[in-house]
Amino acid sequence: MENEQTIDALNKLVQINNERIEGYHTALQETEEGDLRKMFTLFAQTSEKNVVDLSSEIRRIGGVPTDRTKISGTFFRVWMDVKAALTGKNRKFILDSCEYGEDTAIETYETVLKDNSPNLSQIQQTMIKSQLALLRADHNSVKSMRDSSKVNH
């Protein structure tokens, strides 16, 4: 039972990272701005590494990593907003939408940690906290770029 809860919790993180990867790959196809392309590529790579690490841990404890995304709720709206903004070339709106998506990813990680701490080993908690720190850094990059866009426009 404990492993099952742990596997479910880790799979939630795999899923949010899969959504993030899909979203940033979509955004990459829609923009030609070099700095945004670089940022989207780096963010997708962060999530790709997160998925590899989480999937490895899920397998280690006897589970099967999910390969699904949930593109139905918050993240779907975020990426549709990003796509619309990219089409209209509204840089501030693109970055606002990206920041909202990053907030969603961070909230998912924080919720998994809060709700599942008793079921997560110290190693698992450390991995999740490390990944959360990377997501927060990505969030701060988006926020910083967005704030500098406000000043420049």
- Alpha carbons within 13 A on the beta-carbon side of 65: 18
Q: What are the DSSP calls for 106-135, one per residue? A: HHHHHHHHHHHGGGS-HHHHHHHHHHHHHH
pLDDT value of position 82: 62
Per-residue confidence (pLDDT) for residue 59, from 0 to 100: 98
Mean pLDDT by 10 residues, the chain (153 residues): 88 93 82 89 96 98 86 56 63 80 93 95 98 97 85 54
Structural domains in the chain, sorted by start:
2-152 (1.20.1260.10)
The pTM for the full model equals 0.87
With a CB cutoff of 8 Å and minimum separation 6, the contacts of 106 are 132, 135, 136, 139
Query: What is residue 76's predicted lDDT score, i.e. its pLDDT?
Result: 52
**Residue 100 CB burial class (10 angstroms; 0-12, 13-18, ≥19):** middle
